[in-house]
Amino acid sequence: MSKTAIITGVTGQDGSYLAELLLSKGYNVIGLKRRTSSISTERVDHIFENNPNFKMEYYNLHDSGVFYRLIQKYDPDEIYNLAAQSHVRVSFDLPEETVATIAMGTLRILEAIRILKPSVKFYQASSSEMYGDNPENPQKETTRLMPASPYACAKVFAHNLCRNYRESYGLHISSGILFNHESPRRGETFVTRKITMAAARIKLGLQDKLYLGNLDAKRDWGFAGDYVEAMWLMTQQEIPDDYVVATGETHTVKEFLYKVFDHAGLDPDEYVEIDPRLFRPHEVPLLLGDPTKAQEKLGWKPKIKFDKLAEMMYNKDYKRLLKETK
């Protein structure tokens, strides 16, 4: 009998890759999306059109009743909570919305699971941003959490809440502490996609300058398509636990910028300018993950490395823009 999974935030980067993965394994997938006035399903339209085992439902993280109804309607085996206001810089401008969706949204789902179906396997999307300014490197599951943004504070609350519900009620809850993971489906306001989009537009004569903030921030960058496999592996374990999902390598924003522009045959010094307004109020200088536990217990390893990731993202943006301009 096929398993049924619910994915919150299915229209996002991670949600779309996870939906594809689960469908390839024979799941029935219920993707949850927010009701908005604009079309926001481009990442999953191809899935909806071609796979009868994929359905979408509207939801609202501020409404507890939604999850009670969905659990009763679909009786899921697994729930993956990927929904969030996920932009760290924006969280300083919208702290209440960020905390409401991430912290309280997670609480509402956990309560629905506890009351209606405690046997469900739950995955929580935690974040490397929770480590903040902690100088310990590389960062692992036991590293002290020192959040440095409203987004990270909300993630810490949700992460600790999941551990509390796991230990207090015996629920199967696993949290993936994912370090930066990118793809051609990354939102255009995130720095990696902003860079690849700009390089492609400059190459095609559609843009003159690229404005960026802190180029010295170091991050552990992987491919989102690899990371969703780790999410699924966590829910397949007999005993739930928390795992760092990372590559174990770190690179600066500047390295990513130069890698992309070099691949495009462009000189970044000619086109890139620093805009102080794009700096975070509180910068986190370095995030580097230790994926040893995920490798040893889950058998997970990242497949796509930094250089290939940068080239993949640029190539996809260039080809799409080239097609649109013809």
- What is the per-residue pLDDT across 121-165, written as a single tens digit (0 to 9) for each? 999 999 999 999 899 999 999 999 999 999 999 999 999 999 999
Q: Are residues 116 and 48 in the same domain?
A: yes
- Please give the residue range of the domain that contains residue 165: 4-181+222-245
The reply to whether 297 falls in a domain is no
Catalytic residue chosen out of the listed positions 129, 149, 174, 314: 129
**Mean pLDDT on 282-304:** 95
Report whether pLDDT(251) > 90.
Answer: yes
Q: Are residues 45 and 79 in the same domain?
A: yes
Residue type, 156: V
Examine the residue annotation and report whether 24 is marked as an active-site residue of this protein: no
Residue with tokens 């100088």: 135
Of 139, 84, 76, nearest to 286 by C-alpha is: 139
The reply to whether 300 falls in a domain is no
**Which pLDDT score, from 0 to 100, does residue 48 have?**
84
Examine the residue annotation and report whether 127 is marked as an active-site residue of this protein: yes
Domain containing residue 210: CATH number:
3.90.25.10
Give the span between the Cα atoms of 322 and 295, in whole angstroms.
Answer: 39
pLDDT band at 39 (very low <50, low <70, confident <90, very high): low
The reply to whether 77 falls in a domain is yes
Q: What one-character DSSP code corresponds to residue 117? A: -
Catalytic residue chosen out of the listed positions 127, 128, 149, 175: 127
**Which pLDDT score, from 0 to 100, does residue 50 have?**
84
Cα dihedral: 42, 34, 156, 142 (round 10): -40
> Do residues 291 and 245 make contact, with C-beta atoms less than 8 angstroms apart?
yes
Report whether pLDDT(36) > 80.
Answer: no
Q: Kindly state the tokens that stand for 98.
A: 């960020």
Q: Are residues 89 and 229 in the same domain?
A: yes
Give the span between the Cα atoms of 256 and 125, in whole angstroms.
Answer: 25
Q: Are residues 320 and 198 in the same domain?
A: yes
> Do residues 32 and 38 make contact, with C-beta atoms less than 8 angstroms apart?
no
Q: Are residues 67 and 192 in the same domain?
A: no
Report whether pLDDT(248) > 90.
Answer: yes
Our count of domains for the chain comes to 2
> Do residues 321 and 203 make contact, with C-beta atoms less than 8 angstroms apart?
no
Task: Give tens-digit pLDDT for 66-115.
Answer: 999 999 999 999 999 998 887 888 899 999 999 999 999 999 999 999 99
**Which pLDDT score, from 0 to 100, does residue 277 have?**
92
**Mean pLDDT on 298-319:** 97
The reply to whether 114 falls in a domain is yes
Residue with tokens 């095609």: 204
Q: Are residues 176 and 205 in the same domain?
A: no
Task: Give tens-digit pLDDT for 221-235.
Answer: 999 999 999 999 999
- 189 backbone dihedrals φ, ψ, rounded to 5°: -90, -10
Report whether pLDDT(192) > 80.
Answer: yes
Catalytic residue chosen out of the listed positions 27, 80, 151, 318: 151
pLDDT band at 174 (very low <50, low <70, confident <90, very high): very high
The reply to whether 138 falls in a domain is yes
User: pTM to 2 decimals?
Assistant: 0.94
Examine the residue annotation and report whether 49 is marked as an active-site residue of this protein: no
- Cβ contacts of residue 224 below 8 Å, gap of 6+? 13, 14, 17, 181, 182, 183, 185, 186
Q: Are residues 66 and 103 in the same domain?
A: yes
The reply to whether 296 falls in a domain is no
Q: Are residues 206 and 147 in the same domain?
A: no
Give the span between the Cα atoms of 215 and 256, in whole angstroms.
Answer: 9
**Which pLDDT score, from 0 to 100, does residue 86 have?**
77
Give the span between the Cα atoms of 81 and 10, in whole angstroms.
Answer: 9
